[in-house]
C-alpha cells in the first residue's frame, strides 16, 4: 500500500450490502485504500461514501444485467481511473433437493452465481490487460469442491466458478493478472438466513435433504467464523508476492492469512 491516496489500490467489490463484501470494503477503507462498493440496492452501500469521494464510491449493480455492469465499471474508471482488485462476491445460496428446486430458481441461481461472475470479470479484464496488472478474487465456497445433499444446484454454480477461475488464472498470468479463489465454510453472514432461497420440501427426501435443512437452521447465526477475519485474509492474499490459487479455503490454512494480515 502506498501513502498517497491517489496512488493507492482501487478495489471493485460486488455484493457489499452485507457479509464478506461489506466487511472487506470496510477493511480496505480502514487501510486508506480506495473502494467501489456495489449492491442491487445502492442505498445499502451509500454510507461508504461518507469516507469521501476520493476514497469510496457506491453504485447500483445487478450482476445479471450486463448494461448495469458496464455502467458501474465505467463509473469506477471515471472516478478513480483504474481497477486494481476485482472481488466477485455477489451471490447467494439455494437449498433443496435437485428435484425440489423450481426451474426458475435453478436458472436464477446460475444467472447470479456464474453468469454474474462472468459478466463483471469479462467487463473489467480489458482494463486490467491494458495495465498489465490486476487481481481477480472470486468468492466460491467449500461447496465448490464438495457436494452436499440439498445444495446440488448451489454446488453446481460454485463448481463452475472453480473451473472458470482455474482456466482464467492460466490465461491471464502472462499478462500480469492474478486470480484467487476464496472457498469459505461456515461464517456468520446472511448466507444461511435471509439470503438463502429454500425450496418446498418433498417428504421422500427427509432422510437426506431434511437433515441438511435442520443443520442449516441450527447453524444460522452460530457459525464459528467471523467475516472480518475473512476480509483480513483476502487482503493478505492479495498483498502476498505469491499465493496458491485457492488461497483461503478449507483446503489451505486461511486462518494463517487472517492472523498475518495487517490490522
Active site residues: 140, 154, 158
Phi then psi dihedrals of residue 13, to 5 deg: -120, 130
Residues ≥6 apart with Cβ < 8 Å to 87: 11, 12, 13, 14, 21, 24, 137, 139, 234
Q: What is the Cα 254 distance to its own chain's centre?
A: 16
DSSP 30-52: HTT-EEEEEESSGGGTGGGGGG-
CB-based contact 143:208 (threshold 8 Å): no
**Nearest one of 263, 112, 237 to 184, comparing CA atoms:** 237
Measured CA angle at 65 (ends 60, 68), to 5 deg: 40
Which residue matches cell numbers 465454510?
185
Amino acid at each position: 500500500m502506498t501513502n498517497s491516496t491517489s496512488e493507492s489500490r482501487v478495489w471493485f467489490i460486488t455484493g457489499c450490502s452485507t457479509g464478506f463484501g461489506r466487511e472487506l470494503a470496510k477493511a480496505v477503507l480502514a487501510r486508506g485504500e480506495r473502494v467501489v462498493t456495489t449492491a442491487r440496492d445502492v442505498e445499502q452501500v451509500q454510507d461508504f461514501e461518507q469516507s469521501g469521494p476520493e476514497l469510496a464510491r457506491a453504485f447500483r449493480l445487478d450482476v445479471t444485467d450486463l448494461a448495469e455492469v458496464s455502467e458501474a465499471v465505467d463509473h469506477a474508471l471515471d472516478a478513480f481511473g483504474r481497477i486494481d482488485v476485482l472481488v466477485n462476491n455477489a451471490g447467494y445460496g439455494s437449498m433443496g433437493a435437485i428435484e425440489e428446486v423450481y426451474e426458475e430458481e435453478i436458472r436464477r441461481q446460475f444467472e447470479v452465481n456464474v453468469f454474474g461472475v462472468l459478466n463483471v470479470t469479462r467487463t473489467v479484464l480489458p482494463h486490467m490487460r491494458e495495465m498489465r496488472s490486476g487481481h481477480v478474487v472470486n468468492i466460491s465456497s467449500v461447496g465448490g469442491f464438495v457436494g452436499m445433499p440439498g445444495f446440488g444446484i448451489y454446488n453446481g454454480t460454485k463448481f463452475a466458478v472453480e473451473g472458470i477461475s482455474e482456466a482464467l488464472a492460466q490465461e491471464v498470468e502472462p499478462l500480469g493478472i492474478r486470480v484467487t479463489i476464496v472457498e469459505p465454510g461456515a461464517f456468520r453472514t446472511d448466507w444461511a438466513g435471509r439470503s438463502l432461497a429454500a425450496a418446498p420440501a418433498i417428504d421422500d427426501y427427509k432422510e437426506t435433504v431434511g437433515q441438511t435443512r435442520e443443520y442449516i437452521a441450527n447453524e444460522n447465526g452460530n457459525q464459528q467464523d467471523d467475516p472480518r477475519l475473512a476480509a483480513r485474509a483476502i487482503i493478505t492474499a492479495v498483498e502476498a508476492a505469491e499465493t496458491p490459487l485457492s488461497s483461503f479455503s478449507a483446503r489451505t490454512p486461511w486462518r494463517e492469512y487472517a492472523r498475518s494480515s495487517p490490522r
